[in-house]
Amino acid sequence: MPLMDMPLEQLREYRPEIAEPADFDEFWGGTLAAARQAGDPAEYRPVETRLRSTEVYDVRFPGWDGQPVAGWLLLPRGASGPLPAVVSYIGYSGGRGLPVEHLMWAAAGYAELVVDSRGQGHVTPDPDPVPSPQYVRGFMTRGIEDPADHYYRRLMTDCVRAVDALRAHPAVDADRIVVSGASQGGGLALATAGLCGDAVAAALVDVPFLCHFRRGADTAGAGPYPELVQYLGYHQRVAPERVFGTLNYFDGLHFAPRATAPALFSVGLMDPVCPPSTVFAAYNRYAAADREMAVWEFGDHAGGLASQSERQLHWLAARGLGGADHT
């Protein structure tokens, strides 16, 4: 049965006061500073495809610990630059896929960097620095007992470094970088907006995962949050406070107050994977005054589908972030 975990009027005001770690900024500042000192420059190799209106490049850029992260760069053929650009992050258990899956942004006149999710896609491995047999299936509990070892520290660092790489590309306007994603990708877009400051011009945050982990564990009927329930059920020696204390370093509730870019969120009120209260919890803490929530009353985890994509194009154009003309 679909879930609506609160009436809409309550959701619109839902803003839980969850204390952030005292060293949150120090943790992320040190993490990103170290990452920016490691790895080789980004590489872009042209790929021959049957896509006549889109140029495609196979990308490797340095992520966590300088490790090469795969991506696709898609450029609208014939567009005059520098181009506005979108960094696209992928949903849980997915990777960059194939270029033909990512044509909307290039068709609309944007450069797009599609970021492979380490360990989830088939191209970018995740050399776990502290291998442990204690996690359950999936990625939520990898390194769960220490934030320094947690999987999302590595993945979120990759996401920030993707912005760094794209800003340096000669075809891209570094002042018009948009971060975008749905589900896990939405949570990663939110985290990146909070960590990158004014390097991000806008954020498109659809049905985001990685927000208010404790409520997600308490209310989600499907998807990744139940991995936490399963882990805590298996490992009774581990205090819940320790698990959620680790996850507190990766929670969208704490990235949101640090984000200054305009943002368009979306939520499906029937979403059993990312319950609406978890989405509104992050949205209502988002710092930028220019923020908007698209509410899909009967949407499940797919949100607004293509209607949301169309809304994003108009929303960006209204903020001077429309795509370039091309032939």
**Catalytically active residues, by annotation:** 183, 271, 301
Q: How far apart are CA 223 and CA 272, in angstroms?
A: 8
Side chain identity at residue 159, one-letter code? C
> Do residues 75 and 53 lie in contact, with contact meaning Cβ atoms separated by under 8 Å?
no
Residues 6+ apart with CB under 8 A from 126: 118, 119, 151, 154
Amino acid at 85: A
Going by the DSSP 8-state scheme, the letter that residue 100 receives in this structure is G
User: Nearest Cα to 269, choosing from 258, 261, 277?
Assistant: 277
- Measured CA distances, 202 to 176, 192, 264 (Å): 8, 11, 8
| Sequence-separated (6 or more) residues with CB below 8 Å from residue 191 | 156, 159, 210, 250, 252, 255
